């Protein structure tokens, strides 16, 4: 509670403004820290672009230093959600990160996490290493570890403590696409309080492994909604396996494995092998992976017990949190009912198949944007942006989504859209939109007025305005600010 109070005070408009300046403009009298060499950030069309390079410790320090205020703000979201949604204090997740996740992490990522904590400290932050580890592990600790602990303690699991089924994606190749190359698309579905902050474009040049370009969230070492490309030509995304159960406390954290796979895999088979090794069952996903070198695409359903992989050079895979393998459904996602036509997962799966059939042979990045922006509800058989549309707007739904534990008018849904084809992947580039892929804005004030039951979110939930579809590229630099142009990007690095 003391941490939450300190963070709330630190994030007042005046303090946040001053802190943001301090984060990117250290006192001119101070000598630049050598660990920041080559690192920089800038803002563009709703995205925060961050370039990091060097050893694991250097990458971490640059991350923590350049994004210190954003990381504090991000942690504050999870501190508030922990008490209200998970019925546990933030300290519970700090200790779980320390005692359950940390001992099994790769030393490389331990060093990077320690570097983030050091960068935060250099900026005067009170957050420490265990805050950083808990932030990275939140997805798997809340939806997988917590239900297991509640069961062992004989406590009823909170409504929110369930593996979610959110995100919409596809990957296509060969005869399915306009030019025969790979096209991939993904929308991140999350609570808007989390999603409005999930708009960082990370360009990472590590000491070992491949260069990475991915979207992400402040303070987290992997994309975590998992959209990105590496210098080997792997094009990567996923959606969550619905209602997944099972957690191995002796396994390796998902955020470690997904970062490692993006950094070191040079083929679909290698990607699957890294994700399978040490699998703890946390944040179980259906992975869509393309290899621009071969034109192959793969679909990996990564449950705790079953991990089937399908690879092909022609056709497509769709993914909208719909388990497809019978053994995965039986043993890994036992709460998922593939025959419930009202559920978001089943409705979006059917709509995805309809879209693929209609545009087969024509798929490109423009149609990928249309896919992510689609508002058709197959259950209602009409246009209705809500919980069952590919571009989700849960706050419009009087039904909510019972299988996720989401109440009516829950402020959540699609918070970003990203698309890429083989040509963009060759340049380590993707096209992204911050906010709803359809371009509609979410405005907090009228929402709270209409739905005061969500007033507990006022400290963390703000307007989520959609930016334009914007091409982002690894190695990109901020242009010089144009005179009188308040929207032009500006460099924000003490070390560029």
Per-residue pLDDT tens digits for 211-242: 999 999 999 999 999 999 999 999 999 999 98
> Which domains, ranges and CATH numbers included, belong to the chain?
2-23+34-43+54-152 (1.10.439), 168-473 (3.60.60.20)
Report field, pTM of the whole predicted structure over 0.95: no
Q: What is the share, in percent, of the chain residues with pLDDT greater than 90?
A: 86
C-alpha distances out from residue 283 to 130, 159, 181, 305, Å: 19, 17, 30, 14
Give percent helix, percent strand, percent coil of the chain, each to the nearest 5: 40, 20, 40
Q: Quick check: 223 and 73 in contact, CB under 8 A?
A: no
- 368-391 pLDDT tens trace: 999 999 999 999 999 999 999 999
C-alpha distances out from residue 389 to 58, 180, 201, 314, Å: 42, 28, 26, 27
pLDDT band at 479 (very low <50, low <70, confident <90, very high): low
Contacts of 94 (CB under 8 A, 6+ apart): 130, 131, 133, 134
pLDDT, residue 158, reads: 77
Structure tokens at 201: 């474009």
Quick check: 14 pLDDT over 80? Answer: no
Q: What is the CA radius of gyration of the chain?
A: 21
In the numeric block, the tokens 């003391």 are attached to: 2
* Average pLDDT for the chain: 91
Supply the DSSP symbol for 35: G
Quick check: 32 pLDDT over 90? Answer: no
């Amino acid at each position: 509670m003391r941490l939450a109070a300190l963070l709330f005070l630190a994030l007042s408009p005046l303090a946040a403004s001053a802190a943001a300046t301090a984060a990117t403009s250290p006192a001119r009298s101070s000598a630049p820290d050598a660990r920041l060499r080559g690192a920089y950030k800038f803002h563009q069309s709703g995205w925060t672009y961050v370039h990091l390079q060097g050893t694991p410790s250097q990458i971490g320090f640059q991350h923590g230093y350049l994004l210190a205020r954003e990381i504090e703000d991000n942690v504050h979201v999870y501190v508030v959600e922990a008490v209200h949604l998970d019925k546990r204090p933030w300290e519970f997740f700090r200790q779980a990160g320390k005692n359950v996740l940390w001992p099994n992490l790769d030393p490389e990522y331990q060093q990077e996490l320690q570097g983030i904590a050091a960068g935060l400290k250099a900026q005067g932050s009170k957050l420490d290493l265990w805050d950083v580890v808990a932030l990275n592990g939140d997805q798997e600790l809340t939806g997988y570890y917590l239900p297991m602990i509640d069961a062992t303690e004989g406590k009823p699991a909170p409504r929110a403590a369930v593996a979610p089924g959110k995100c919409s994606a596809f990957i296509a190749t060969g005869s399915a696409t306009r030019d025969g190359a790979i096209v991939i698309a993904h929308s991140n579905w999350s609570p808007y309080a989390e999603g409005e902050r999930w708009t960082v474009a990370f360009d990472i040049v590590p000491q070992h492994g491949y260069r990475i370009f991915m979207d992400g969230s402040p303070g987290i070492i992997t994309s975590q909604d998992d959209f990105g490309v590496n210098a080997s030509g792997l094009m990567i995304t996923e959606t969550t396996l619905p209602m997944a159960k099972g957690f191995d406390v002796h396994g390796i954290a998902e955020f470690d494995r997904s970062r490692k796979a993006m950094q070191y895999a040079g083929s679909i088979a290698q990607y699957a092998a890294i994700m399978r090794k040490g699998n703890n069952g946390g944040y179980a996903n259906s992975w869509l992976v393309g290899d621009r070198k071969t034109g192959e695409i793969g679909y990996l359903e990564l449950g705790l017990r079953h991990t089937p992989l399908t690879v092909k050079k022609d056709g497509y895979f769709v993914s909208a949190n719909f388990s497809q393998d019978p053994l995965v459904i039986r043993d890994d996602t036992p709460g998922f009912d593939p025959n419930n036509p009202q559920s978001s997962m089943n409705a979006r799966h059917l709509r995805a198949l309809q879209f693929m059939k209609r545009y087969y042979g024509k798929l490109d990045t423009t149609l990928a944007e249309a896919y992510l922006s689609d508002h058709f509800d197959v259950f209602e058989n009409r246009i209705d942006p809500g919980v069952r549309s590919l571009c989700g707007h849960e706050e419009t739904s009087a039904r909510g989504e019972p299988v996720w534990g989401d109440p009516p008018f829950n402020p959540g849904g699609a918070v970003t859209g990203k698309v890429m084809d083989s040509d963009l992947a060759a340049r380590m580039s993707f096209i992204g939109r911050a906010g709803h892929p359809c371009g509609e804005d979410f405005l907090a004030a009228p929402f709270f007025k209409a739905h005061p039951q969500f007033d507990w979110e006022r400290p963390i939930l703000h307007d989520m305005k959609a930016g334009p579809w914007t091409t982002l590229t690894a190695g990109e630099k901020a242009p010089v600010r144009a005179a009188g142009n308040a929207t032009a990007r500006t460099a924000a690095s003490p070390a560029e």
